[in-house]
Amino acid sequence: MGRAPATAIYSTIQLAIYLAEDSTLTPAPPDTPDPPEAPAITASRQTLDKVKDILRRDLKLGGSFEITDDMPLVGSDLDLDSLDFLMVVTSVEKDHGYKIPNDQIGPEIFTSVATLANYLDPHLSD
C-alpha cells in the first residue's frame, strides 16, 4: 500500500496527544468517583481477535501477552503512542483492506480494544 498520507499521520499524532492529555484515561485518585462504564462490546469475537492479533504483532508483544477485550489503548500495559496508533491504522488498511477515514480517527474509536473492534466490525470482511 505504500506510505501513509501526511494527513493520516497528522490525525494519528493529534489522537495520541488528545488521549495522552485526557484525564479520564489516567487512574483517578482514590477519593474521586469511578469513571463511566465502558461501552458495550458489540463486535464479533472474530473482530476482537483480529484487533488483538494486530496489537500483539505491531507492538511486538508476543502471542502469549494477555489483552482483554476492554483494555485501554492508553494508560494500560499497551500504552500506545502516536507511532503505535499509526502502525495499527496502517495494519488495518494493509491486512484487511479497510482505510479508516481521517475524520474518524479519534478517541471514540481508539479508547480501548473494544471500541476499536466495535468500529471495525462492520468494515472487516475477512
Query: Does some domain include residue 93?
Result: yes
Query: Does some domain include residue 34?
Result: no
Give me the tens of pLDDT residue by residue for the chain, a chain 126 residues long.
455 555 666 566 666 666 666 555 555 556 655 555 666 888 889 999 999 999 999 989 888 889 989 899 888 888 888 888 889 999 989 988 889 898 888 888 889 999 999 999 998 865
* 104-109: long-range pairs with CB below 8 Å, 24+: 105/8, 105/11, 105/12, 105/15, 106/15, 106/18, 107/15, 107/18, 107/19, 107/22
Query: Does some domain include residue 1?
Result: no
Query: Does some domain include residue 82?
Result: yes
CATH code for the domain in which residue 94 is found: 1.10.1200.10
Query: Does some domain include residue 126?
Result: no
Domain count, the chain: 1
Range of the domain at 54: 6-27+42-120
* Residue positions counted in the chain: 126
pLDDT at residue 77, rounded to an integer? 81
pLDDT at residue 14, rounded to an integer? 66
Query: Does some domain include residue 36?
Result: no
Which ranges constitute the DSSP H helices of 1-126? 6-21, 45-58, 82-96, 113-120
Query: Does some domain include residue 104?
Result: yes
pLDDT at residue 21, rounded to an integer? 60
Q: Measured between alpha carbons, how far is 110 from 55 in angstroms, rounded to an integer?
A: 12
